[in-house]
Amino acid sequence: MATETQRQAPTAGAATAPAAPAGSPNGHVARVRVPARSLRSELRAIRVVWRRELIRFSRDRLRILTSLIQPFLFLFVLGTGIGSFASAGTHGVNFKTFIYPGVICMAVMFTAMFSAASIVWDREFGFLREMMVAPVRRSSIVLGKVLGGATVATFQGLIVIAIAGLVEVPYELSLILELFALSLLLAFAITAFGVMFAARINQMQSFMALMQMAIMPMFFLSGAMFSVANLPQWLAVLNRLDPLTYAVEPMRRAVFAHLDISEAARKALDPGVTWFGWRVPTALEAAVIAILGLAMLFVAIWEFSRAE
């Protein structure tokens, strides 16, 4: 709405207000007119919030490095150590190859969580306020944030995907693309999950404690480190309820599809997730992650729109 030249009678009761100093014309500084809100301005806001995440990530070399340490520890230290005595049960398959899909998920998950945590930093250091008072929808801010976090986390996943050869996983384009797509989906869902919590938490310590409580059980229950075949009933139930299961399993299925191994090994190591005996197809597993991610995104948007 153009109010620049709008004129109206002074409000009644404004009697005490002195007149504006008339000696203040538009001086040498050019005025800029900010146009009304539109889809385009929302897209610009999403893009700039997304880009900020990337800039910050690229400047934070230490963070890139530290978030890779954990997956590499799991893959090469734990993988080698456990692999030496687990070899009896793996039918000749390298244990590192077996846990490789789970480690990709881990890399993605931790980076996504840290990206979401940056909302808590933003609040502590005030920058969140700058975004909150901007004349754009809160949903644009949240969406930009989630997409930014997802991009950064997928990038970390890509680094792990890039070392496939070290754990005897072949470099095949179809496999790489599938792993990439699943990483992207997981990165999006986990960032949305983190942002949803970050909306209500003011302190970094609380957020980190909460993340530990959420992430570690999710990771352990997902079958990232073990086969989901022949689990005791209680663990099988928890495993099927863990959303991360539906990211680890299709990745493992994709990796194993490109391995030349015995039928017995396939049956023991890649039995697939079943619901009451029915093997859940990859597309449905991906849909589970996508739907959960979208649901959490909407909760996050709702929370930020409602917060003052």
Partner 1 sequence: MSSSPASTSTAITVPAGAPAGNGAGPVPAVVVEGLVKRYGELEAVRGIDFTVAAGETFGFLGPNGAGKSTTINMLCTLVDPSGGSARVAGHDVVRERDQVRRNIGLVFQDTTLDSYLTAEENLRLHAELYGMPRGAVAERLRQTMEMVGLWDRRGDLVGTYSGGMKRRLEIARGLLHSPRVLFLDEPTVGLDPQTRSSIWGYISELKRDEDITIFLTTHYMDEAEYCDRIAIMDQGKIVALDTPQALKAGVGKDRVQIQTGDDDAAIAALRERFDIEAVLAEGAVTFGVPAGEEFVPRLFAELGQPIRSVNVSRPSLDDVFMSFTGTTIRDAEASGGSEMRRNMARMMNR
Residues 132 and 85 sit within 8 Å (Cβ to Cβ) = no
Site for partner 1 in 192-221 (CB under 8 A): none
Residues 303 and 200 sit within 8 Å (Cβ to Cβ) = yes
> Helices 79-86 & 95-124, crossing angle to 10 degrees?
150
* Identity of the residue, 20 or 173, whose beta carbon is nearer to partner 1 in the bound complex: 20
Any idea of the CA torsion for 151, 292, 101, 82, to the nearest 10 degrees? Answer: 120
**C-alpha–C-alpha distance, residues 192 and 296, integer Å:** 6
Among the listed residues 65, 100, 110, the one whose alpha carbon sits nearest the alpha carbon of residue 79: 100
Site for partner 1 in 105-144 (CB under 8 A): 122, 125-127, 129-136
- Which range binds partner 1 by CB under 8 A, 32-40, 173-181, 261-269, 275-283? 32-40
Shortest Å distance, C-beta 40 to partner 1: 8
Shortest Å distance, C-beta 39 to partner 1: 11
**C-alpha–C-alpha distance, residues 297 and 291, integer Å:** 10
**26: contact with partner 1 by CB under 8 A:** yes
Query: E strand or H helix at 161, and its extent?
Result: helix 138-162
- Which range binds partner 1 by CB under 8 A, 54-62, 95-103, 108-116, 242-250? 54-62
Q: Is 13 helix (H, G, I), strand (E, B) or coil?
A: coil
Query: E strand or H helix at 12, and its extent?
Result: none
- Which range binds partner 1 by CB under 8 A, 8-16, 107-115, 194-202, 251-259? 8-16
**92: contact with partner 1 by CB under 8 A:** no
* Identity of the residue, 48 or 292, whose beta carbon is nearer to partner 1 in the bound complex: 48
Shortest Å distance, C-beta 202 to partner 1: 14
- Which range binds partner 1 by CB under 8 A, 1-9, 179-187, 217-225, 236-244? 1-9
**C-alpha–C-alpha distance, residues 197 and 60, integer Å:** 23
Among 35, 92, 232, 277, binds partner 1 (CB under 8 A): 35
**C-alpha–C-alpha distance, residues 284 and 286, integer Å:** 5
Residue ranges binding partner 1 (CB under 8 A): 1, 3, 6-11, 13-38, 40-41, 44-45, 47-49, 52, 55-56, 59-60, 122, 125-127, 129-136, 308
